[in-house]
Structure 1
Amino acid sequence: MSQLKKDLIVTGIPRGGTTLTAALIDNLSNCVCLSEPGWQTKWFLNGKNANNLTKQVTDDFKEIRKKILNNEPIKDKRNVDGTASTNYFNSPKNGVRQKDKTFKKRSVVLPVKDKHFTLGIKHNAHYTSILPELIESEKFSIIAIVRDPVPTILSWLSLDIPISRGRLPAAEGVWSELRDITESKEELLIKQVKIYDLFCQRYLEYQDHIHLIKYEDIVKDPSIINKLTGMEYERKLDLENQNKNKYYDFKMEEKIREAITKHAPHALKLYPFKKKKEKE
């Protein structure tokens, strides 16, 4: 793909590293990356037409650009000091991991150097649900982040968010294949594995039109992002691979692997399981 456009879509697997990626982009010179603007979520929750949603998103990029250049405050999920967070969730209380309350929607003025700044916006299921239409519009460069399915699903199971219950309401209105899975009567784990695989299927189908990046590669080498954009980081972020998070229930690992092997062929193309060595 050619050099990135100045309007940048960040999407990917839920809990797959998109928050980290958005924070890295936001930390680049002359770049801003918003994290899941709530007003767009309302559009997706009520929207039934992918083309209409794509137009709304396209128009919103233009409007946000104007506001940033006019030094008008934008409501965005930010840390107290105005920086972007690399993770929404803190340590668990009473056994349940909570969203970090120091990281919340704040009205902030986002400084840029000039009108040629890069504007990124991150949404997971929302933007993936209209990925074909976003590509067809030719208005955006698109980054899609994937993560090893086992720790991803363990993360889903460790939290209390819609995907933890096998739902992604903001994407179900326009993505019929997703809706069929979420509304099925199958057990939760099978639903989650099939949802993960559907995301992989979509990214693989359109991989020639997007930048498909693995979370593990970003953690190992954050320069992937600044090389992709051609911008330099303004400050260093401490990155830590969360695939061995101590709050995950690793007793579920084998069951997840079995479900992936049976129900997630596209996931296995991106993350093939290593065959276990036979005992001598």
Structure 2
Amino acid sequence: MTAITLLTGIPRSGTTLCCKLLSQNKTTLALHEPLDPQVITSTELNASIHEISQRIMAIRDAVQSSKPIPLGDKDNYLVDNPVGYSQQHHGVRALSSVRGTTTIPLNNDLELLVIKQNALFTALSSHLIAHYPLIAIIRNPVDVLLSWMTVDLPVNKGRLPAGEKFDKHLASLLQQEDDVLQRQLIIYDWFIDKFKHSALECIKYEEIVATNGKALYDAIGITQPNPAELRAPQRNFAPSLIERLNNCVPQLEALAIKAGYSPAIISKQLEFLSCQNCS
């Protein structure tokens, strides 16, 4: 029977890339968001966990028999970035992935199925971990926040629909805050708090890149095939966005410490990005 591991993480921290990397092992298949949080019918805890488990089993059965399954991108089950690189209005990048149904080629060597979902699995992490191995991907606050500011996703407006659906306290905090950046800081903090409360193993995106994926494979417990060099993409951000983060450095440093980073990473990264704009 194919084993199951769940993968979660902060949005825009490289979780989709992790799916592509893990699927390079011929005995592993990692899927990009086959569960749509909005179709989970119950928000009552036990009923939600039961329904999610049923859907996970149905996905595994469909994969093992090469039947159609829902995915976050119907055209490419090995997508490494669901957001396109072309900018739309005001520098916001649009989604390139389109949710739909696809059929995964039959793999008789499949031993491990990894299912990735960020907000949903995080909101219910303390209960899901009693049923499945659950691993989280994190990234430093500066890169995460700047990405949120420039992608056409709910976090761009400081909202997290799946998290709010299953965590009413988060929904209340976001509802009470008018400032978008402050809501984004609340969301980042919420993810870290959930990971710590559930005692999840957290893997830093930066370590995955620095080790060419080895940190990820070691955490999952599978063999890494022929590692290729990984590089974090370099992007230029509008000076106004960098300045917004410069205005809340103490909050960002506190989040960095909570996430297990040195607070020095905040000023260092902001300075680096500012210098990129000058070059």
Range into which the TM-score falls when normalised by the shorter chain: 0.7 to 0.9
Distance (whole Å) between structure 1 residues aligned to residue 158 and residue 198 of structure 2: 24
Q: Tell me the alpha carbon deviations over residues 96-126 of structure 1, each in whole angstroms, 9 at most, x when there is no partner.
A: 312225x664512233234x62111111111
2:201 is aligned with 1:211? yes
Compute the RMSD of aligned alpha carbons: 2.7
Report if aligned partners of 1:190, 1:259 keep a CA contact under 8 Å in 2. no
Report if aligned partners of 1:29, 1:232 keep a CA contact under 8 Å in 2. no
Q: CA deviation at 1:8?
A: 0.9
Q: TM-score, normalised by structure 2?
A: 0.82
Distance (whole Å) between structure 1 residues aligned to residue 70 and residue 191 of structure 2: 28
Distance (whole Å) between structure 2 residues aligned to residue 215 and residue 10 of structure 1: 13
Q: Match for residue 170 of structure 1?
A: 162
Distance (whole Å) between structure 2 residues aligned to residue 88 and residue 237 of structure 1: 21
Q: Match for residue 275 of structure 2?
A: none
- In structure 2, the CA distance between the partners of 1:21 and 1:99, relative to structure 1 (3 Å rule), is same
Q: Match for residue 120 of structure 1?
A: 114
2:154 is aligned with 1:157? no
Distance (whole Å) between structure 2 residues aligned to residue 65 and residue 56 of structure 1: 14
Q: TM-score, normalised by structure 1?
A: 0.82
Alignment-mate amino acid for residue 21 of structure 2: L
The share of aligned pairs that are identical, in percent, is 26
Alignment-mate amino acid for residue 105 of structure 2: L
Out of 70, 75, 87, which is 1:75 matched to? Answer: 70
Distance (whole Å) between structure 2 residues aligned to residue 228 and residue 113 of structure 1: 24
Report if aligned partners of 2:95, 2:152 keep a CA contact under 8 Å in 1. no
Q: Counterparts in 2 of 1:37-116, with a 5 A limit?
A: 37=34, 40-44=36-40, 46-78=41-73, 82-91=76-85, 92-94=87-89, 95-100=91-96, 105-114=100-109
Gaps of 5+ in 2: 269-279
Report if aligned partners of 1:36, 1:77 keep a CA contact under 8 Å in 2. yes
Q: CA deviation at 1:168?
A: 0.8
Alignment-mate amino acid for residue 144 of structure 2: T
Distance (whole Å) between structure 1 residues aligned to residue 15 and residue 176 of structure 2: 27
Distance (whole Å) between structure 2 residues aligned to residue 230 and residue 170 of structure 1: 29
Alignment-mate amino acid for residue 34 of structure 1: L
Report if aligned partners of 1:6, 1:118 keep a CA contact under 8 Å in 2. yes
Q: CA deviation at 1:175?
A: 0.9
- In structure 2, the CA distance between the partners of 1:104 and 1:61, relative to structure 1 (3 Å rule), is closer
Matched residue SS, 1:183: helix
State how many pairs are aligned. Answer: 260
Distance (whole Å) between structure 1 residues aligned to residue 31 and residue 15 of structure 2: 11
Report if aligned partners of 2:11, 2:118 keep a CA contact under 8 Å in 1. yes
Alignment-mate amino acid for residue 69 of structure 1: Q
Q: CA deviation at 1:247?
A: 4.0
- In structure 2, the CA distance between the partners of 1:96 and 1:7, relative to structure 1 (3 Å rule), is same
Matched residue SS, 2:129: helix
Structure number with higher relative contact order (C-alpha < 8 Å, ≥ 6 residues apart): 1
